[in-house]
Amino acid sequence: MKKEKRYLVPDLYMADPSVHVFNGKIYIYPSHDWESGVAENDNGDHFNMKDYHVYSTDDIMNGEIKDHGVVLDVKDIPWSGRQLWDCDVAFKNGKYYMYFPLKDRNDIFRMGVAVSDTPEGPFTPCEAPMKGSYSIDPAVFRDDDGSHYIYFGGLWGGQLQRYKDNKALESAHLPQGNEDALPARIARLSDDMLEFAEEPRSVIITDEEGNLLKAGDTECRFFEASWMHKYEGKYYFSYSTGDTHNLCYAVGDNPYGPFVYQGIILTPVVGWTTHHSIVEYKGKWYLFHHDSVPSGGRTWLRSLKVCELEYDENGKILTIEGTDEQKMSELDIALCSTILTAETKDS
């Protein structure tokens, strides 16, 4: 299904949008792509992410997107090493809590918390990372009873393969083929929102027959980019398949799952992968994500995008086309031309 899409911040490279409704407005919490000059690799070392901005609007498809500026910088975090990847924000008891992944000084991803009195920040970071935290892609979900849950995890550069049962492995293990796929993690947050209230659990995804998805099911197994939303009383866990570039979802009866795989939300876009959030606003549902079209297909310089999301009468999400084949072909030609020109100059 083709949908009208809007680029939200055309003058800056922003990605991985976490989106919430606070005080009647849409607030967007993205990561920030900078040109690093580092060669691209599967660990994501080329992502030079050093700060966060916050954006807001009261008209998603046509209104002004207000930039509230830098709200947290890596240099202000006491335990910082490098790379502020995607973040998320939750509200409780008059405070806003930003959850962020950051490599410590040993180059290990941990998750930190920063606090603000307003949704637009600025956010003040806690002195230390969350106890027992690891990997990337925090996404916080508030259930109807007021409980908050944090979902997290990402393969390859996200380091999830370095852990088992919440303990670091001596040697990382990335499942292959018919081994069970490596799952995301979930934990309920403490009352003060600053720590896990329990040991993180696996987010189990099965097929319709109840079989666990396998590592070889690359078109539908979890890779990164957890998100949770609720629709018609059901819990929709959505995520990216990473190296196969789909946004998929599975449905369950509670925040922990298990979740039954349902299908693809968004087909591949220009760029290595995609990362998203889903939110209801003024009676409509929206999918926020990113692609690399404005930067000419450079996967480390991405731009925020939004389109309307729809369900059928059975609660199935209607699949949205990512980027049309003509546009992808044009970008492939442009990138090849750029590479050939550079090689000619070098020789």
Residue 207 burial by Cβ neighbours in a 10 Å radius (0-12, 13-18, 19+): middle
More confident residue, 24 or 328: 24
Q: Which tops the pLDDT comparison, 145 or 332?
A: 145
All structural domains of the chain with their residue ranges: 5-346
> The pTM is what?
0.92
Q: What is the pLDDT of residue 292?
A: 94
Give the three-class secondary structure for 199. Answer: coil
Whole-number pLDDT of residue 231 = 98
Look at residue 200 and give its three-state secondary structure. Answer: coil
Round to whole Å and give the CA distance between 175 and 87.
26
Cβ proximity of 312 and 319 under 8 Å: no
Annotation marks residue 16 as catalytic: yes
Q: Can you give the pLDDT at residue 87?
A: 98
- Please give the DSSP secondary-structure letter assigned to residue 317: B
5-346 is classed CATH 2.115.10.20: yes
pLDDT value of residue 345? 33
For residue range 133-178, what is the model confidence (pLDDT) as tens digits?
999 999 999 999 999 999 999 999 999 999 999 999 999 999 999 9
282: tokens are 């003024």
Burial of 26 (0-12, 13-18, 19+ CB in 10 A): buried
| Spatial separation of the C-alpha atoms in residues 341 and 86, rounded to whole Å | 34
Q: What percent of the chain has pLDDT over 70?
A: 93
Which tokens belong to 295?
Answer: 């930067």
Kindly tell me if the per-residue pLDDT of 324 is higher than 70: no
pLDDT at 338 over 80: no
Averaged pLDDT score across all residues of the chain: 92
Active-site entry in 11, 16, 64, 332: 16
Catalytic residue list contains 224: yes
Residue 339 is predicted with a pLDDT of 34
Task: Extract the runs of DSSP E, i.e. beta strands, from 154-302.
Answer: 163-164, 167-168, 184-188, 201-203, 205-206, 224-231, 234-240, 247-252, 259-266, 277-281, 284-291
Summarised one tens digit per residue, pLDDT across range 18-76 is 999 999 999 999 999 988 777 777 777 777 789 999 999 999 999 999 999 999 999 99
Q: What percent of the chain has pLDDT over 90?
A: 84
Which residue shows structure tokens 């852990």? 163
288 has pLDDT over 70 = yes
Please pick, among 120, 137, 217, 224, the residue that the annotation labels catalytic. 224
Q: 97-111, 122-136, 213-227, 293-307: which has the minimum mean pLDDT?
A: 293-307
